[in-house]
Amino acid sequence: MAMKGEVGARRGTLFVVATPIGNLEDITLRALKILAEVDVIACEDTRRTALLLRAHKIAKPLISYFEHNEEHRAQELIEQLRTGVKVALVTDAGTPGISDPGYRLVRGAHAAGCAVVALPGPSAVTAALSVAGLGGSGFSFVGFLPARPSERRNALIALKREPRTLVFFEAARRLPQSLASMAAVLGAERTAVVAREMTKVFEEVVLGTLGDLAARFSRAGARGEVTLLVAAASKSKAFSTSESPAASSFADRRQLDIKEPPTIEMLRQEGISLKQASRVIARIYGLSRRQAYQLGLGSEDQRLASAVPVKSKP
């Protein structure tokens, strides 16, 4: 009969390994050592992980582990852990389980009596916080906001008085809409930072108000991975574009095309009233509230006209 200690010794170990968020050199020596020693590496995208391993001359079996196969693949890996296999869990970038797949496998490994070991490393959250200059004694990590406008607005309302810096992840294609919603709900003058493509060739950190940032990215768009930080409610102050070299090129409101204000449409689609949306637009484009309201009325008239079918003359 096997002793209790002998049974435990046969259990495998799950290593939760943080990997670079961009620059492949941003990986710890310990992570490289473990990746070279484990029996199998579970990864979100085998192609991306293969690039990282080749860069560091590591050859190991890879198994896909992503959002849509996580539930059943976790069970397979847990069975391997029970037999003594050493498994490394990685995602495309950053730390597994932080807005990425991983928690099911970690929880299952604990339940199976296997050791779970963290290998900390690169994080878009801490990287963005370190260069944001927002200060404060803490932060609240929100992750991705809901995609549906009404749900996104409700989530922001719940966060409006959060006394810590808010940290979001956002898809680049949704950044203009999210910034417009934040400007309307959290306040157009609240200080915020868009950190894009951290540690990569085209890294960009833009500091400004939510209103200024909404104007910039609704006009120019964005690409790549985005981390968005919003100053704490209790310590947020009005931030002038004149204080920010990164936003200074957008200080002249006359350079913005206000004939078709896309941000009005974004805000109205979020379920925000025309009056409230006009306040935000006034801040973004340097208009009076009356001018913004008239632009909004014009936008409403165009939408109503397009919705009414045109009857042909007999």
Positions of E strands within the chain: 13-17, 40-43, 62-64, 87-90, 115-119, 139-144, 165-171, 191-196, 204-209, 225-230
Q: Is residue 164 part of a domain?
A: yes
Out of 122, 145, 165, a domain closes at 122
Inter-axis angle of helices 262-269 and 274-285, nearest 10: 150
Q: Is residue 311 part of a domain?
A: no
Residue from 228, 225, 218 nearest 20 by CA = 225
Domain count, the chain: 2
Q: Identify the pLDDT of residue 245.
A: 39
Handedness of CA 246, 247, 251, 256 (dihedral sign): positive
**72-124 pLDDT, tens digit each:** 999 999 999 999 999 999 999 999 988 888 999 999 999 999 999 999 999 99
Q: Is residue 293 part of a domain?
A: yes
Q: Identify the pLDDT of residue 270.
A: 60
Q: Is residue 216 part of a domain?
A: yes
Q: Is residue 312 part of a domain?
A: no
**210-230 pLDDT, tens digit each:** 999 999 998 888 899 999 999
pTM: 0.71
Query: Do β-strands 191-196 and 204-209 pair in parallel, antiparallel, or remain unpaired?
Result: antiparallel
Q: Is residue 3 part of a domain?
A: no
The reply to whether 57 and 157 lie within a common domain is no
The reply to whether 27 and 135 lie within a common domain is no
Q: Is residue 314 part of a domain?
A: no
Q: Identify the pLDDT of residue 147.
A: 87
The reply to whether 20 and 90 lie within a common domain is yes
Please report where in the chains the tokens 């964005």 appear, as a residue.
222
For the record, the structure tokens of 50 come out as 């293969």
Q: How far is CA 161 from CA 176, 207, 244, 273, in A?
A: 22, 21, 25, 21
Q: Is residue 99 part of a domain?
A: yes
Q: Identify the pLDDT of residue 67.
A: 86
Tell me the CATH number at 162.
3.30.950.10
The reply to whether 77 and 112 lie within a common domain is yes
- Give the domain range for residue 118: 12-122
Q: Identify the pLDDT of residue 114.
A: 96
Residue from 189, 194, 191, 185 nearest 150 by CA = 185
Out of 122, 139, 162, a domain closes at 122
Out of 122, 141, 168, a domain closes at 122
Q: What are phi and psi of 141, to 5 degrees?
A: -85, 120
DSSP state of 14: E
